[in-house]
Structure 1
Amino acid sequence: MDENAFWALIEGSRHQSHDPDRRLDSLREQLMRRPLPEIVQFQACLHRVRRPIDTWEMWAAAEQIFGGRCSDDSFWYFQFWVVGLGREAFVRAMADPDSLAAVPELRRLAGRPETTWSDGEWPEWESLDYVAAEAFDALTGEEEGLEEALEAAGLDIPCNPEPSGRQWDVRDVDEASRRLPRLSRMFPLTR
């Protein structure tokens, strides 16, 4: 599966629904119609595509959105959410994480306390990392079959963020305002 086919699946699910669970159902169904090697390739492609946004700058954007409280797991799930935005928004965010301020899903959260964000609104999509395994396991009846297939193909898939670039203190309000001006206005940190 090449990146064009990968993005077609991601964007196809996005056009069907904005509900993350419904999108996963759609992706799982689509993957289950494909040969097993393509399901393996989908998972490999997901991580290959995700890797360029595994940066300290993107983590800073997530920290800003999450009010300065973004854990390793939250950042990992945030990366999958950014992939789920589709290719165009992903490419913009990869070049400039502050461009996420233009994403309608985030604009709807701006100014609202996190306690009012529904599960489907949170800018995290952990389950995207499992959808290929679910499809693979359903087709083969093997638990952890995808992991074994990835290993057999010599593909090492990380399970935690390994950010590249230079780390900086997102809690420094002045620095955050300089580096992420739009997100800082939308999700202001307190001094």
Structure 2
Amino acid sequence: MDKTEFWQIIESAKAAAQGDQEIQEQAIINSLEKLEPEQIVEFECLLRECLLEADHFNIMAAQRIIDGYVSDDTYLYFRCWLIGQGEAVFTNALQNADTLASVVVDPYQDFEALLYVATAAFEKRTGKAEDDTTFPRAVASERGLDYDLGSETKGEDWTDNQLPKMLPKLWKKFGAA
């Protein structure tokens, strides 16, 4: 699986879901379980690459403005949500996080379930019920694709008083409250 296939699965599921994350989650699982186990593993690895790519202080600042706070979990789930929006939204946000002002309607955007779709599909495809070293999460961790431990947030850190000028569109929409 390459990035084009990865984004096709994400975007097809998003289109089918029409804003319902449970449907989007199930659509991704349904797409993945038709693939070979190795491809499901590659999906997990590409997902983790995207999570690491989006680990940037500008994305964190956007989440801070939108939600009013940032924690380790909410930041991770926000990046999952960002990936779930598709390649264009993801890429645009990485180039300029303020573009999210035209995408985000409500605060507290997260898509935690995206973290588990490859495992669910792998279990269905292989019939394995217990995690072992062949599971997508284990393989990705073995390859060093760990979004929890040791990953370093890119870019420059910020303070709250910098946010209005840093991301003015998001600040106008969410931060002024």
Gap runs ≥5 in structure 2: none
Equivalent residue, structure 1, for 2:9: 9
Counterpart of 1:61 in structure 2 is 62
Aligned residue for 1:8, secondary structure, equals helix
CA distance in 2 between counterparts of 1:78 and 1:162 reads: 17
Number of residue pairs aligned between Structure 1 and Structure 2: 170
The CA distance in 1 between the partners of 2:130 and 2:171, in whole Å, is 43
What is the match of residue 100 of structure 2? 100
How many angstroms apart in 2 are the aligned matches of 1:159 and 1:143? 22
The alpha-carbon distance between structure 1 residues 143 and 100, as it changes in their structure 2 partners (threshold 3 A), is same
Q: 2: CA distance between counterparts of 1:5 and 1:185? A: 36
1:19-74 superposed Cα distances (whole Å, 9 cap, x missing partner):
1110111110110000000000000011112322101111011001011x111110
CA distance in 2, matches of 1:148, 1:50: 16
In percent, how many aligned pairs have the same letter?
28
Alignment of 1:7-156 (within 5 A): 7-17=7-17, 18-67=19-68, 69-103=69-103, 106-107=104-105, 109=106, 122-140=108-126, 141-145=128-132, 146=135, 147-150=137-140, 154-156=142-144
RMSD value, Cα: 1.6
Quote how far apart the aligned CAs of 1:189 are: 4.6
TM-score by length of 2: 0.89
Q: Is 1:164 aligned to residue 148 of structure 2?
A: no
Structure 1 runs of 4+ aligned residues shifted over 4 Å read: none
Secondary structure of the residue that 1:130 maps to in structure 2? helix
